[in-house]
Amino acid sequence: MKFKSRSDEKVEMQLTSMIDIIFLLLIFFVMTFKIAAQEGDFNIRMPIGGGSGAADTTNLPIKLRLRSNTDGELVDIVVDDTRSFGNDFGKLRAFILQQTGGNAPPSPEEGPEVEIDLDYNLRYSHVITAISTITGQRQGDEIKRLVERIKFAPPRKPQ
């Protein structure tokens, strides 16, 4: 089928309907956008890159060491180089509850600080589980805070 157009007629695009559709889509996406609650509100200080000096031990009551095997699986949780909990985060939570008395500090600057020392190969899922275990626990709809200050030791490269 062949369409013939007259040479004296101008063909114009109707932009009004396209602009209407764009505004409708914009309104739809703005109205259906849901802001998610922020996950993991942790007060964490990362080590300064390339620091080979000694770690600051003036205000570190709890040192946590997470050891892994070559596959990155958690093998042992050691606290203050004296207590070993195997890979049981429940025992670690009980220890933190004992140290904090089960109460959150009045302000983040006053509570105990935990320094986490990790093996280089450790999987991130174990690190997040350790942070969640240390910082608090959910009781119903509210979160009971235990430790507010977490510090990471510089990572050790495997020998």
- Domain of 131: which CATH number? 3.30.420
The pLDDT score that the predictor gives to residue 23 is: 95
pLDDT at 58: 44
pLDDT digits (tens, 9 = 90+) for 90-121: 888 888 888 777 666 666 667 778 888 888 88
Residue 17 within any structural domain of the chain: no
Separation CA 105–CA 123 (nearest Å): 30
Token pair of 58, please?
A: 């003036």
Q: What pLDDT, on a 0 to 100 scale, did the predictor assign at position 25? A: 96
What's the rounded mean pLDDT across residues 41-60? 55
158 is a domain residue: no
Residue 29: inside a domain, yes or no? no
pLDDT band at 60 (very low <50, low <70, confident <90, very high): very low
Residue range of the domain that includes 123: 60-152
Number of domains in the chain: 1
Asked whether residue 41 is domain-assigned, the answer is no
End-to-end CA distance of the chain: 77
Q: Are 123 and 73 in contact (CB under 8 A)?
A: yes
Asked if 73 contacts 121 with a C-beta cutoff of 8 angstroms, the reply is: no
Residue 69 lies in a domain: yes
Q: What is the pLDDT of residue 2?
A: 65
**Between residues 2 and 114, the one the model is more confident about:** 114
Residue 14 lies in a domain: no
pLDDT band at 37 (very low <50, low <70, confident <90, very high): low
* pTM of this structure: 0.56
The per-residue pLDDT for 56 is 46
- CB-CB contact of 120 with 107 (8 Å): no
Q: pLDDT higher for 45 or 65?
A: 65
**125 lies in a domain?**
yes
Give the sheet arrangement for strand 113-118, strand by strand: 43-45, 149-152, 113-118, 62-68, 74-79, 83-84
The pLDDT value given to residue 113: 81
Tokens, residue 128? 């997040």
In a domain, 32, yes or no: no
Across 40-53, average pLDDT: 60
| Average pLDDT, rounded, for the chain | 76
Inform me whether the pLDDT recorded for 1 exceeds 90.
no
Measured CA distances, 95 to 54, 118, 149 (Å)? 27, 19, 16
Q: What proportion of the chain, given as a percentage, has pLDDT over 70?
A: 70
